[in-house]
C-alpha cells in the first residue's frame, strides 16, 4: 500500500531581519496533513518571529511561505482566509464580550454578508448569523465551554481563556492551526487537558504547529519537532531523535566554553560527581563530595536563567 503525504504548510528559506539583527535565518519547515509539529528553542530563538512570518504579520526579508501549494499573501486576514489560524503567546480575547461573541468574531472571515445586509438585517444576513451561531456553539461544545457561552471572557478562569482562544481560532475553519505557547502559565492538569484537546483537533483533520517550552508536553504531543537556536534551525526529527540530540541539550542547558566564568567550578563539580559515582559503584554507598570545591555533591549549579529556559 502506498501512502501519499500532503504538505499543508511549506516554508522555505525564511529569513527575517530587524535592522542589523537576524531573528530568523534561512529556515525551512513543512507541516503535513494529519501532523502535529513542534517548534522549540531557547528564549529569543526566533520562534514567534517565524510564526509572524507564516501568518502575514511580518513580511519575511527572504523566503517563501506556501499553504496547500499556494504562496500566501503577506496580510494576516488573507492568511486566515486561506486556512491558517493562530493563537498568541499572550491571551488576546475581547474581555468584555461573552464567550460566544468571542467565537463569533473568529467566524467573520467565513461570512460573506456585507455591511448593508447587516445594518438592514436582510434575510441573507439573518441566515448567515444563525449558521454562525450554530457553528460557534458546536465549537464551544467541542472545547468544553458550551455551558459558559454567555459568560464574559474576562470572568473565565485562566485555563478556559486559553481554550476560548483556541475555539476562536477554530471558528475560521482552518486547515492548519498555529499555537504559540498554549500551556504557558497552566498547571499540570490544565496542560494535560490541552494536550488531549490538540489531539482531538488533529483528529478532526486540522494540522497543528505548536511552539512550547514545556518539553514533556512537546515530546508527548508531536510527530515531529524542530529546534531553533539563534534564528537557525539546528535540528529536526522525531521527538525521541530531538530530545536525545546533544546539540539540543546544549542549546537548552548551555555548555560552558573554556575560560568562561564558572567553567572551572563546573569542571570541578563534574569531577566530584564522577568520583562520587565511582565510590558508589565500588562501595554501594554514595560519596561525600570532593573536599575543597565548596560544592556539596548533588547541589544544583544551574542559574535561575537556565532553569527558566528549562521550564
Ligand atoms: N519587532 C521586532 N523588532 C526588533 N527585534 C525583534 C522584533 N521581534 C522580535 N525581535 C527580536 O528577534 C529575536 C527573536 O525573538 P522571538 O520573540 O521571535 O523569539 P522566541 O523564540 O519567540 O522567544 P520566546 O521563547 O522568549 O518567546 C529576539 O532577539 C527579539 O528581541
> Is residue 254 classed exposed, middle or buried when 0-12, 13-18 and 19+ CB atoms within 10 A define those classes?
middle
Residue 286: the pLDDT is 44
Please give the sequence-ordered ranges of beta strands (E in DSSP) within 92-245, or none if there are none. Answer: 176-180, 207-211, 224-229, 232-237
**Torsion angle (degrees, nearest 10) of CA 283, 286, 291, 292:** 140
Residue scoring higher pLDDT (279 or 91): 91
pLDDT in tens, 58-110: 999 999 999 999 999 888 989 999 999 999 988 888 989 999 999 998 887 76
22 and 65 belong to one structural domain:
yes
pLDDT in tens, 187-202: 999 999 999 999 999 9
The Cα–Cα gap between 102 and 144 comes to: 15
Ligand 1 centroid distance, CA of 116 (Å): 42
Residue 296: the pLDDT is 32
Position 221 in a domain: yes
Ligand 1 centroid distance, CA of 133 (Å): 37
**Torsion angle (degrees, nearest 10) of CA 97, 101, 107, 109:** -40
9 and 78 belong to one structural domain:
yes
Ligand 1 centroid distance, CA of 48 (Å): 7
Q: Largest alpha-carbon pair distance within the chain? A: 87
pLDDT in tens, 20-48: 899 999 999 999 999 999 999 999 999 99
105 and 157 belong to one structural domain:
yes
Position 88 in a domain: no
The Cα–Cα gap between 237 and 225 comes to: 6
Average pLDDT, the chain: 83
pLDDT at 301 over 70: no
1 and 79 belong to one structural domain:
yes
22 and 140 belong to one structural domain:
no
pLDDT in tens, 209-224: 999 999 999 999 999 9
Residue 131: the pLDDT is 83
Ligand 1 centroid distance, CA of 18 (Å): 10
CB within 8 A of 291, min separation 6: which ones? Answer: none
| Ranges of H-type helices in 204-262 | 215-221, 239-243, 246-253
By the 8 A CB rule, do 242 and 227 touch?
yes
Alpha carbon nearest to ligand 1 atom 3, residue: 18
User: What is the pLDDT confidence band of residue 297, given thresholds at 50, 70 and 90?
Assistant: very low
100 and 162 belong to one structural domain:
yes
What atom of ligand 1 comes closest to residue 45's alpha carbon?
Answer: 21
Range of the domain at 213: 1-83+174-255
Domain boundary among 172, 192, 214: 172
Residue 2: the pLDDT is 54
Residue 111: the pLDDT is 66
Residue 4: the pLDDT is 67
Q: Which of 46, 58, 89 maximizes ligand 1 atoms within 8 Å of its Cβ, making it the mutation to test the pocket? A: 46
18 membership: H or E segment, kind and range: strand 7-18
Tell me which residue of 236, 262, 263, 300 sits closest to 41, measured CA to CA: 236
Per the DSSP assignment, residues forming a β-bridge with 32 are: 7
Alpha carbon nearest to ligand 1 atom 11, residue: 23
pLDDT in tens, 255-277: 544 554 455 665 676 677 777 76
111 and 160 belong to one structural domain:
yes
Query: Residues lining ligand 1, judged by CB closer than 6 Å?
Result: 18, 21, 23, 41, 43-49
User: How many CB atoms are closer than 10 A to CB 288?
Assistant: 12
Ligand 1 centroid distance, CA of 71 (Å): 24
Q: Which of 14, 20, 21, 60 maximizes ligand 1 atoms within 8 Å of its Cβ, making it the mutation to test the pocket? A: 21
By the 8 A CB rule, do 97 and 154 touch?
no
pLDDT in tens, 221-251: 999 999 999 999 999 999 989 988 888 888 8
Q: Which of 19, 21, 23 maximizes ligand 1 atoms within 8 Å of its Cβ, making it the mutation to test the pocket? A: 23
Ligand 1 centroid distance, CA of 228 (Å): 12
Tell me which residue of 173, 171, 175 sits closest to 69, measured CA to CA: 175
77 and 181 belong to one structural domain:
yes
Alpha carbon nearest to ligand 1 atom 26, residue: 43
Domain boundary among 172, 199, 234: 172
Residue 73: the pLDDT is 87
Ligand 1 centroid distance, CA of 126 (Å): 43
Please indicate, yes or no, whether the overall pTM of this predicted structure exceeds 0.90: no
The Cα–Cα gap between 171 and 247 comes to: 39
Position 136 in a domain: yes
pLDDT above 90 covers a percentage of the chain that reads: 59
How many domains is the chain built from? 3
CATH code assigned at 20: 3.40.50.300
107 and 250 belong to one structural domain:
no
Residue 287: the pLDDT is 40
Give the orientation angle of helix 123-143 with respect to helix 158-170, to 10 degrees: 130
pLDDT at 290 over 90: no
The Cα–Cα gap between 198 and 299 comes to: 38
Domain boundary among 172, 203, 223: 172
Alpha carbon nearest to ligand 1 atom 29, residue: 44
Amino acid at each position: 500500500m502506498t501512502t501519499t503525504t500532503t504538505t499543508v504548510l511549506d516554508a522555505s528559506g525564511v529569513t527575517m531581519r530587524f535592522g542589523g539583527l537576524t531573528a530568523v535565518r534561512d529556515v525551512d519547515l513543512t507541516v503535513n496533513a494529519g501532523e502535529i509539529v513542534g517548534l522549540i528553542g531557547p528564549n529569543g530563538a526566533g520562534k514567534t518571529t517565524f510564526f509572524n512570518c507564516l501568518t502575514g504579520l511580518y513580511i519575511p526579508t527572504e523566503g517563501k511561505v506556501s499553504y496547500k501549494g499556494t504562496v500566501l499573501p503577506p496580510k494576516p486576514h488573507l492568511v486566515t482566509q486561506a486556512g491558517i489560524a493562530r493563537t498568541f503567546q499572550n491571551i488576546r480575547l475581547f474581555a468584555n464580550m461573552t464567550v460566544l461573541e468571542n467565537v463569533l468574531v473568529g467566524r467573520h472571515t467565513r461570512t460573506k454578508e456585507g455591511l448593508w445586509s447587516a445594518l438592514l438585517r436582510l434575510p441573507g444576513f439573518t441566515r448567515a448569523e444563525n449558521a454562525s451561531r450554530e457553528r460557534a456553539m458546536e465549537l464551544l461544545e467541542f472545547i468544553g465551554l458550551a455551558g459558559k457561552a454567555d459568560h464574559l471572557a474576562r470572568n473565565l478562569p485562566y485555563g478556559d481563556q486559553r481554550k476560548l482562544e483556541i475555539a476562536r481560532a477554530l471558528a475560521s475553519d482552518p486547515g492548519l492551526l498555529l499555537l504559540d505557547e498554549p500551556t504557558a502559565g497552566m498547571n499540570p492538569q490544565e496542560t494535560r487537558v490541552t494536550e488531549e484537546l490538540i489531539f482531538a483537533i488533529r483528529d478532526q483533520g486540522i494540522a497543528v504547529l505548536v511552539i512550547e517550552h514545556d518539553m514533556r508536553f512537546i515530546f508527548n504531543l508531536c510527530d515531529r519537532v524542530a529546534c531553533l537556536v539563534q534564528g537557525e534551525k539546528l535540528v529536526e526529527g522525531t521527538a525521541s531523535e530531538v530530545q536525545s540530540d546533544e546539540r539540543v541539550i546544549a542549546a537548552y542547558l548551555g555548555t560552558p566554553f573554556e575560560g568562561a566564568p564558572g567553567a572551572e567550578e563546573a569542571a570541578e563539580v563534574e569531577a566530584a560527581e564522577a568520583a562520587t559515582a565511582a565510590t558508589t559503584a565500588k562501595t554501594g554507598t554514595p560519596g561525600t563530595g570532593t573536599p575543597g570545591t565548596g560544592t556539596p555533591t548533588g547541589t544544583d549549579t544551574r542559574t535561575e536563567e537556565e532553569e527558566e529556559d528549562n521550564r
